[in-house]
Amino acid sequence: MTPTEIASGLIANISTPDLKLSDFKLIAFDMDSTLINIECVDEIADAAGRKAEVAAITEAAMRGEITDYKDSLRRRVALLKGVSVESMEGVYHERLKLNPGAAELVHACKEAGMKVLLVSGGFTFFTDRVQRELGIDYTRSNVLEVEDGLLTGRLVDQPWGDICDGEEKKKMLLETCAMLGITSAQAIAMGDGANDLPMMGVAGLSVAYHAKPAVRAQAMVAINEGGLNRLLEVLA
C-alpha cells in the first residue's frame, strides 16, 4: 500500500486501524540510537582519539553498506584497545541518555502485560545498566574483554555465540517468543539500523525509529519525528 502519514512525522506502510497494544505480548528494542541517544562504540572511541574513524564504520554498517556486521564490529572494537573502564563510566554518566518517550513506551508495554527484550550489537557494559533503569526483562548483547581496567580490543565469546549481529537479534526474538509460548506475530520489533532488519522481518509489527532510509522503507511503521512513545498513537 501507499505509505500513509498518520500524523506529522509518523508514517504507516500498512493499514493500522485495528491494531491494539493488547494484540502483542513482547516488544524487542535495539539500544544504540533507538532506546538511547548515542552509538556507544563511537563515544568509547572518542576516548581513544578515534571517534571519526569508528563512527564512519558504524554509519556504513547501519546503512547496510557493510554487509558483514561481525567483521565491522571486530574492526571497531580493535580500535578501542587501551581505553579504560573509567572512560566508559564517563560515557555512561555524561553522554548516554534515554531517547524521548523510551521510559513511557516501556512502561505502557509493561502495563499492558507485555515482556520487554533488549537486543543490541552494543555492549553489556551499557545494556545491563539500561536494563536495570527501565526494568527490561531480557537482554542480549556483546561483552568487551577487559584486562587490568583497560579494553583489550577483543570481544568475549558467550554460550550462545560470538557476536550479537542481525541474525542473532532475530534468533533471540524467536527464542524469547518460544519461551513465552507466543508466535512472532505477537511481537513488536523496533530499531534504526540495517542489523535490525532481520528481527523486524519476523515480528508482527516492525517499527523504524529515526532510522536509516532502508529501514524506514521496510518497516511497517516509521517514527521520523518525536519520541518512541509515538508508537502509542498507532496502537490504541
Residues identified as active-site: 30, 32
Cell digits of residue 10: 509518523
Report helix, strand or coil for 230: helix
Distance of CA 21 to the CA centre of its chain: 20
The closest of 78, 136, 69 to 102, measured between CA atoms, is: 136
Per the DSSP assignment, residues forming a β-bridge with 138 are 117
4: number of Cβ within 10 Å: 12
Cell digits of residue 4: 500513509
Quote the CA–CA distance of 70 and 18 in Å, as a whole number: 39
Distance of CA 142 to the CA centre of its chain: 12
DSSP 93-124: HHT--BPTTHHHHHHHHHHTT-EEEEEEEEEH
